[in-house]
Structure 1
Amino acid sequence: MKPLRLAVIGAGHLGRIHARLLKQLEEVEDVQLVAIVDPVEANRTAVAAEFGAMPLASHEELYSLVDAAVLAAPTNLHYPLGIDLLNHGLHLLIEKPLAPNTEEADLLVKQAKAKRRVLQVGHVERFNPALAVVQPYVARPKFIEAARASTYTFRSIDVGVVLDLMIHDIDVVLSLVRSKVVQVQALGLAVFGPHEDIAHARLTFENGCVANLSASRCSFEPTRKMSIYAEAAYAQVDFGACQAKIVRPSEELLSRLFDVQGSSPELQADVRENLFSTYLPLEEIQVERGNAILDELTDFLTSIRSRRSPVVCGSQGRDAVAVAERVLAKIAAHRWTGAQEGPVGPLATPASSVLRGPEWAKVDEQTPAPAAPPVAPTPARRKAS
Structure 2
Amino acid sequence: MSSLNVAVAGVGALGRHHARILAGLDGVNLVAVADRDQAAAGKIASDYGCRAVADVREALDEVDAVSVATPTFTHADVAGACLQAGKHVLVEKPLSSDVREAEQIALQAKNAGVVLAVGHVERFNPAFEEVVARCPRPRYARFERVSPFAFRSVDVGAVHDLMIHDLELARHLFGEEEVVSVQALGTPILTEMEDAATARLTFESGGVADLTVNRVNPTAARTVQAFGEDGVVTADLTTRQVLHYSATAALTHGPPVLSALDDPAADRAALRDSVFGRWIKTEEAPVSSRDALTAELSDWMSCCRSGGTPRVDGDAAVAALELAEWVLEEIAASAKRAAAPVRKAA
Q: Name the TM-score, length of structure 2 as normaliser.
A: 0.92
CA deviation string 1:100-158 (max 9, x = no partner): 12111111111111111111111111111112223222022011111111111111110
* Number of the residue aligned with 1:4: 4
* Number of the residue aligned with 2:94: 97
Counterparts in 2 of 1:337 and 1:136: CA distance versus 1, 3 Å = closer
Amino acid at match of 2:57: E
* Number of the residue aligned with 2:220: 222
Question: Greater CA deviation, 220-229 or 38-47?
Answer: 38-47
* Number of the residue aligned with 2:308: 308
- Distance in 1, Cα, partners of 2:312 & 2:69: 16
Q: Does 1:205 align with 2:203?
A: yes
- Distance in 2, Cα, partners of 1:228 & 1:133: 11
CA deviation string 1:74-123 (max 9, x = no partner): 11111122122111101011111111121111111111111111111111
Q: Does 1:58 align with 2:48?
A: no
* Number of the residue aligned with 1:367: none
Question: Greater CA deviation, 43-52 or 156-165?
Answer: 43-52
Please say if residues 157 and 195 of structure 2, whose CA atoms lie closer than 8 Å, have aligned partners that are also in contact: yes
* Number of the residue aligned with 1:264: 262
CA deviation string 1:206-258 (max 9, x = no partner): 11111111111111010001111111221001001111000112356457962
Match of 1:281, SS? strand
Counterparts in 2 of 1:188 and 1:5: CA distance versus 1, 3 Å = same
Please say if residues 251 and 257 of structure 2, whose CA atoms lie closer than 8 Å, have aligned partners that are also in contact: no
Q: Report matched runs for 1:142-221 at 5 Å.
A: 142-178=139-175, 179-221=177-219
Please say if residues 140 and 231 of structure 1, whose CA atoms lie closer than 8 Å, have aligned partners that are also in contact: no
- Distance in 2, Cα, partners of 1:70 & 1:153: 23
5+ residue gaps, structure 2, are none
Match of 1:45, SS? helix
Amino acid at match of 1:76: F
- Distance in 1, Cα, partners of 2:260 & 2:282: 25
* Number of the residue aligned with 2:248: 250
Match of 1:226, SS? strand
5+ residue gaps, structure 1, are 343-385
Please say if residues 130 and 239 of structure 1, whose CA atoms lie closer than 8 Å, have aligned partners that are also in contact: yes
Q: Does 1:48 align with 2:76?
A: no
* Number of the residue aligned with 2:332: 332
- Distance in 2, Cα, partners of 1:254 & 1:139: 21
- Distance in 2, Cα, partners of 1:279 & 1:212: 27
Question: Greater CA deviation, 265-274 or 290-299?
Answer: 265-274
Amino acid at match of 2:280: L
Please say if residues 131 and 226 of structure 2, whose CA atoms lie closer than 8 Å, have aligned partners that are also in contact: no
Match of 1:296, SS? helix
Match of 1:335, SS? helix
Q: Does 1:275 align with 2:275?
A: yes
Residue 271 (structure 1) shift: 4.5
Residue 339 (structure 1) shift: 4.0
Please say if residues 130 and 238 of structure 1, whose CA atoms lie closer than 8 Å, have aligned partners that are also in contact: yes
Q: Report matched runs for 1:359-370 at 5 Å.
A: none
User: Of the two structures, which has the highest relative contact order with CA contacts closer than 8 Å and spacing of 6 or more?
Assistant: 2
Q: Name the TM-score, length of structure 1 as normaliser.
A: 0.83
Counterparts in 2 of 1:81 and 1:275: CA distance versus 1, 3 Å = same
Residue 275 (structure 1) shift: 1.4
Match of 2:36, SS? coil
Match of 1:17, SS? helix
Please say if residues 271 and 279 of structure 1, whose CA atoms lie closer than 8 Å, have aligned partners that are also in contact: no
* Number of the residue aligned with 1:111: 108
Please say if residues 72 and 95 of structure 1, whose CA atoms lie closer than 8 Å, have aligned partners that are also in contact: yes
Residue 278 (structure 1) shift: 2.8
The alignment's C-alpha RMSD in Å is 2.1
Residue 5 (structure 1) shift: 0.5
- Distance in 1, Cα, partners of 2:259 & 2:318: 49
- Distance in 2, Cα, partners of 1:11 & 1:256: 60
Residue 338 (structure 1) shift: 3.2
* Number of the residue aligned with 1:379: none
* Number of the residue aligned with 1:356: none
Residue 205 (structure 1) shift: 0.8
* Number of the residue aligned with 1:237: 235
Alignment length, in residue pairs?
Answer: 339
Please say if residues 242 and 287 of structure 2, whose CA atoms lie closer than 8 Å, have aligned partners that are also in contact: yes
- Distance in 1, Cα, partners of 2:73 & 2:112: 23
